Amino acid sequence: MISRRLFAALALTAVVATACGTGDGPDTAVRADGTVDLSRVTLHIGDQKGTGLQALLDAAGELKSIPYKIEWSQYNSGPPMLEAINAGAVDFGGVGNSPPVFAAAAKSAIKIVSSYRAGTEGQAVLVPKDSPLRTATDLRGKKIAVTKGSSAHHQLLSVLTKNGLSFTDIQPQYLQPADALAALTTGRVDAWAIWDPYTAQGQQQSGARILVDGTGYVNGDSFYVASAKALGSKSRTAAIRDLAARIQRAHTWVNGHLDDWATTYAQTSGLPREVTEVAVKRSRYQDHPLDPATVAGEQQVADLFAAAGLIPNKVTISDYVDTRFNDLFPTP
């Protein structure tokens, strides 16, 4: 069970961050006629190795003409990024399906503002190549590395639930990706629930085997999240709208240039080309609006965590969704 004291502390942080954001003074990038001077806007954007947003935008040529300034911050996974977004230190960032659920349970000051699908094969439970584990039911009683509050956390929970197991039937080892890979390769854990490109890294560098991937267990949705504070600013909201459109164009570029993107991604992430090639080719992007089906899918993720006792209370995902940018995205 996750600590209620932890969630109470995070909830207090959310309240404090929101209160601190109310006295920032006038939005100096808004002209007298109500238009926005984007050259006076700075966006603080979170990025992580698993998404490579900065590299993706650069490779697609979308960073060349941005009229506002960007300050980038790097994170190992989605949960710490959303902590920074909640605190107002970061305006915007991309995460998987689980971090918004944990942030919502902590009553964080965040809003989901756009969504995309990128395949399910890269969401996987890995085991060492010589592991005796052959089916999902073999995970009973095993030590499984997973990043708490990550998309892999949900994928693992979904795999267990659909195979008649509960989270209490395993021994979760809450580790960030780099530590989890080391634990798997040294035999300190029996399995590792993870997402690409780390799935591909485990396969290519240690010969790890996919025990079960996300197909049939997760829908592949990921999200871009903004701070409530940033969305309360007319100028930063205008910059986020422009950025969301650039991300969609960059996703389209990647889908048509998989080899080029794999090469660039290897250069910028430090991962071997054979790793990024595997990850990229099973992660084609499909942008879509935050429609009722998408919100309902994320609600199912939240309900599964609540039923398992991994968050202390049920959450209403629609309270943490902002659909003002839906017009940018094609209807599936």
Report pLDDT digits (tens) over 215-224: 999 999 999 9
Structure confidence by residue, pLDDT tens digits, 226-282: 999 999 999 999 999 999 999 999 999 999 999 999 999 998 888 999 999 999 999
At 164-208, the pLDDT tens digits run: 999 999 999 999 999 999 999 999 999 999 999 999 999 999 999
Q: Locate tokens 């003409």: which residue?
A: 65
CATH top class, domain 123-212: alpha beta
Quick check: 85 pLDDT over 60? Answer: yes
pLDDT score, position 25: 60
What is the rounded CA–CA span in Å between residue 51 and residue 90? Answer: 16
Beta strands 124-127 and 191-194 are: antiparallel
- 21-79: pLDDT as tens digits: 333 567 899 999 999 999 999 999 999 876 789 999 999 999 998 999 999 999 988 99
> CB under 8 Å to 307, separation ≥6 — which residues?
none
pLDDT of residue 19: 35
- Predicted confidence (pLDDT) per residue in 96-151, tens digit: 999 999 999 999 999 999 999 988 999 999 999 999 999 999 999 999 999 999 99
Q: Do domains 38-117+220-313 and 123-212 have the same CATH topology?
A: yes
Compute the distance between CA of residue 198 and CA of residue 49 in angstroms, rounded to an integer: 9
- Over 50: is that where the pLDDT of 15 sits? no
What span, in angstroms and rounded, lies between the C-alpha atoms of 280 and 285?
10
> Burial code of 112-135, b = ≥16 C-beta within 10 A, e = fewer?
bbbbbbbbbbbbbbbbbeebebee
Task: Classify domain 38-117+220-313 by CATH number.
Answer: 3.40.190.10
